[in-house]
Amino acid sequence: MQLKTQVAGLVAALALPSLGAAARNDTGFPPDEDGKYWIQSEVMKIGFVPYGASISDLHIKDKYGVTRDIVAGWDNATYYTLDEQHPNYGSVPGRYANRIKNGTFEIDGEKYQASLNDNPTEEHPDGLDTLHGGKDGWGWRNFTVEAHTDSSVTFKIVDPSGKEGFPGEVISYVTYTVNGSDWDISMVALATTKKTPIMLSSHAYWNLDGFANNETSLALNHTLQLPYSGQRVAVDNILIPTGAILANEKGSANDFWSKSKQLGASFDGDELEGNCGYGCKGYDNCYTVNRQQLGNYDWRTHSPVAVLHSNWSGIGIEVYSDQDAFQIYSCNGQDGTLALKQSQGIDDEEDFPRTIPQYGCVVMEVQDYIDGINNPAWFREKKQIFGPGDDPYVLRARYHFTVDEADE
Ligand SMILES: *[C@@H]1O[C@H](CO)[C@@H](O)[C@H](O)[C@H]1NC(C)=O
Ligand SMILES: *[C@@H]1O[C@H](CO)[C@@H](O)[C@H](O)[C@H]1NC(C)=O
Ligand SMILES: *[C@@H]1O[C@H](CO)[C@@H](O)[C@H](O)[C@H]1NC(C)=O
Ligand SMILES: *[C@@H]1O[C@H](CO)[C@@H](O)[C@H](O)[C@H]1NC(C)=O
Ligand SMILES: *[C@@H]1O[C@H](CO)[C@@H](O)[C@H](O)[C@H]1NC(C)=O
Ligand SMILES: *[C@@H]1O[C@H](CO)[C@@H](O)[C@H](O)[C@H]1NC(C)=O
Ligand SMILES: *[C@@H]1O[C@H](CO)[C@@H](O)[C@H](O)[C@H]1NC(C)=O
Ligand SMILES: *[C@@H]1O[C@H](CO)[C@@H](O)[C@H](O)[C@H]1NC(C)=O
C-alpha cells in the first residue's frame, strides 16, 4: 500500500501518464488505448508494440528535469502496420538481421533463396539482396504478448518453415525489462525442425534530445564511443560485406575506439563520402567488438561496448552486450518525411518541422558479424546457424541510461 502510494507519487512527479493494468484478461494481456505496452521504473517509462516486438517510446528526464521521449516511433500500434516507409522502427529484425548477399546461402550443401527486398533494380525489381529477414521479416509481423508486468513484457513469434525462404521453424521469445536506469533485452530463439540462420538485433532509433533540441535538429552533436571496435566489416556499394575486415585507423572517420567523439566530427571533408554505400555520406557500418584480451569477462559489468551521449539534454546510454559486433547508422536515409510523435519536438514549426531530418537520429544495433553465413572465413557458424538439439540462439543487452547534473 505504502509502496503503491510512493510509486504513484513518483509517476506524478515524473509527469508521466499512469500505467494501464498489467494483468491478463480472457483475451490475453490488454494494451493501452494506443495499443502499447508500458513498463516502468522510478527513472524511465518504456513503451512497446507487438508489431516487430518494437520499442515505441522511452521517456526519461533530461538534466533540467524535463521529460524527453528519446526513441523514434509512432503514436499508436495501428500506424505501425499502415506506415509504408517501414524504417524498422525499434523492431527486432529477424530471423536474420541486416543483409544477405544475393539473398542466398548454403547449409550442409543445400542452397536456399531468401526473399529479396533491398536494392531494387530494373532487372531485379524485388531487390538484389535480403534485408532484415525479407519482405515479411519479423519487423513486419505482430508478435504475441506472452506476459506483461509493470517491469517486463515478453513477446513471442513462431516463424513457420519456409517463410521468406528460410528453412525450418523458429520459435523466439523477446523479453524487455526495466530496473532503475537499466533497460534489459533478452532474446532467445530455437530452431525446432531444421538447421537455419538466426541473427537478431534491436533496431531502435535514438535522439537523446527527444527531437526537441532548440539549436539543432540533428544528432551529429551526440558523442559516441565504441571502445572495442578497432575494426569494421568492409562493404560494397550496396552495403554487402565483401569478406574483408578493415582497420579503423586511429584518427580516421571510423575511429570511435581511441576516444569518444561527436558523430559529426568527420563530416567536413570527403572521408565519409561513400562510407555507407554509393553516394552516401555518414555511417551504416558494422563494427566488430574485440574483447578477446579481456579473457573471462562478464558482459554485464565489464565496460560498455558503446556509449552515446548528448550534451544538450545531458542524457547518455551505455550499451552492454554479449554480442561480437555493433552496427551504427546515422540516419543517412531519413529525409524529413517521418513524423515525430506527439511526445516529441518543440513548438516552433517554422524552424523545427515535426519530422525527422537526415542525420536526425542514430540507430545502434547489437548483433553478430553481418552476413556471417556467407563468410565462412570469419568462423561465425556457431553464432549464426542453429538446428534442433543445438543450444538456443541468445542475445543479451543492457542499456544503462545516465543523466548529467544540470549546469549553472
Ligand atoms: C480484455 O482486454 C481487451 C483489450 O483491452 C478488451 O478489448 C477486452 O474487452 C478485455 N476483455 C475482458 C473480458 O475484459
Ligand atoms: C496514430 O499514429 C499516427 C502516427 O503517429 C498518427 O498520425 C495518427 O493520428 C494516430 N491515430 C490516432 C487515432 O491517434
Ligand atoms: C497487428 O496489430 C495492429 C495493431 O493492433 C493491427 O492494427 C493489425 O491489424 C495487426 N495485424 C495483423 C496481421 O494481425
Ligand atoms: C544468386 O541468386 C540466384 C538466384 O536468385 C542464383 O541463381 C545464383 O546462383 C546466386 N549467386 C550466388 C553467387 O550465390
Ligand atoms: C535492479 O538494479 C539494482 C541496482 O543495480 C540491483 O541491485 C538489483 O539486483 C536489480 N534488480 C533486479 C531484479 O535485477
Ligand atoms: C533551448 O532549450 C534549453 C533547454 O531546455 C532552454 O534552457 C533554452 O531556454 C531554450 N532556448 C530557446 C531559445 O528556447
Ligand atoms: C555542436 O558541436 C559543435 C562542436 O563540434 C559546437 O560548436 C556547437 O555549438 C554544438 N551545437 C549545439 C547545438 O550543441
Ligand atoms: C555542454 O553544454 C554546456 C551548456 O549546456 C556547455 O557549457 C559545455 O561547454 C558543453 N560541453 C561540451 C563538452 O560540449
| Every domain of the chain and the residues it spans | 2-403
Angle at 295 between CA 290 and CA 296, to 5 degrees: 115
pLDDT at 18 over 90: no
**How far is the centre of ligand 1, averaged over its atoms, from the C-alpha of 29 (Å)?**
8
| Cell matching residue 88 | 524498422
SS3 of residue 78 by DSSP: helix
**Count of all residues that appear for the chain in the document:** 408
Under DSSP, the state recorded for 7 is H
Q: What is the CATH number of domain 2-403?
A: 2.70.98.10
* Pairwise CA distance, residues 38 & 31, whole Å: 8
* Residue whose cell numbers read 513486419: 140
* Residue whose cell numbers read 553516394: 279
Rounded to 5 degrees, φ, ψ at 219 are: -100, 10
**Amino acid 263: pLDDT:** 98
* Pairwise CA distance, residues 354 & 234, whole Å: 35
For residue range 293-323, list pLDDT tens digits in order.
Answer: 999 999 998 999 999 999 999 999 999 999 9
**Percent of the chain topping pLDDT 70:** 94
Q: Of the listed 203, 222, 309, 318, which one is catalytic?
A: 203
* Pairwise CA distance, residues 98 & 47, whole Å: 24
160 CB burial (10 A radius; 0-12, 13-18, 19+): exposed
**Amino acid 330: pLDDT:** 98
Q: pTM (2 decimals)?
A: 0.92
Task: Give catalytic status of residue 203 as yes or no.
Answer: yes
pLDDT at 58 over 90: yes
Task: Give catalytic status of residue 365 as yes or no.
Answer: yes
* Pairwise CA distance, residues 347 & 351, whole Å: 9
What are the helix (H) ranges across 235-301? none
**How far is the centre of ligand 6, averaged over its atoms, from the C-alpha of 59 (Å)?**
19
For residue range 243-276, list pLDDT tens digits in order.
Answer: 999 999 999 999 999 999 999 999 998 999 999 9
Pocket test for ligand 7, best of 221, 266, 268, 351 (most atoms within 8 A of CB): 221
Residues 167 and 188 sit within 8 Å (Cβ to Cβ): no
